[in-house]
Amino acid sequence: MKISLISNPKQKEKWAGRTGPLQEWFRSHCVIDEDPAGAQWIVTLGGDGTLLYAMARFGTKKSYFGINLGHLGFLTSADVTGTTDVLEDVFIRKIYKTEHVRYLLYRGDMWEGLAVNDVVLKGVRVEDMARFDVFLNGAFIHTQTADGLIIASPVGSTAYNLSVGGSIIHPDAGGYILNSIASHALGIRPLVMGEKHTLKIVPHSPMSLIIDGRLRGTVEGPVEVSLASDAFSLIRQVDWDFYQVLRLKLHWGKRGEEKC
């Protein structure tokens, strides 16, 4: 099995002291392919952004293992501290499990592709309000004005969606979430879509299309979003647990005086 290592070039100097020992470990214990296209597994050294970049670029035919060098790291499989035992289990003893992560498909104007975390629509300028119509499987839901709109996959529910008060969806759940950013109608709340539902957003004026935190371009016509039937493969240690990640990353159960 060939492995390719990918790190965040923008953080090369900042994380040099962390990535160096990891790269040395992998080169000593694994078969490394410098070209990710020829590797079966891709190991990312960075944060969730580095893992998202690799998944979007190299697709679902690869398996992914993310090592978190940053802060939260909801998607990554291991943290840089105390990671040696995890690496030995996964890459030497071959003791691991595979999590299948479904993603979103989007299409609008000249743009189309996939989003692992979320599809976000906002006004073209920071100060612009966004007004749009929302349809589900062709049926009209509502018209609203807001700072923008988030359509998040199950794994993306803990990203931008969570920061604006959206619900957390278990990665195995068969659905995705529609959430407004600072809606002008207090009665509009996050909605969970079924796995076979297709959303259509019709903007009243041009809007920015942002995919997994990266500006894709501007759209003027309808944008359709649905949950893909295919999935990415994330390699996890056998005792990896979604709720343990939430407890650690969101400090569930911690009191104000306790150190996180």
The b/e string for 203-212 (b: 16+ C-beta within 10 A; e otherwise) is beebbbbbbb
Which residue(s) pair with 104 in the sheet? 115, 227
For residue 33, which of 1, 8, 64, 58 has the smallest C-alpha distance?
1
Quickly count: other Cβ atoms within 10 Å of residue 8's Cβ.
Answer: 19
107 Cβ contact partners less than 8 Å away, ≥ 6 residues apart:
223, 224
| Eight-class DSSP state of 139 | E
Q: What are phi and psi of 61, to 5 degrees?
A: -80, -10
Is residue 48 annotated as a catalytic residue, yes or no? yes
DSSP strands (E only) in the chain: 2-7, 31-32, 41-46, 63-68, 78-79, 97-108, 111-115, 118-123, 130-136, 139-146, 148-152, 175-181, 191-194, 198-203, 207-211, 214-219, 223-236
Contact present, 33 and 3 (Cβ < 8 Å): yes
Quickly count: other Cβ atoms within 10 Å of residue 123's Cβ.
Answer: 18
Tell me which of 48, 109, 133, 241 is the catalytic residue. 48
Q: Show which residues are catalytic.
A: 48
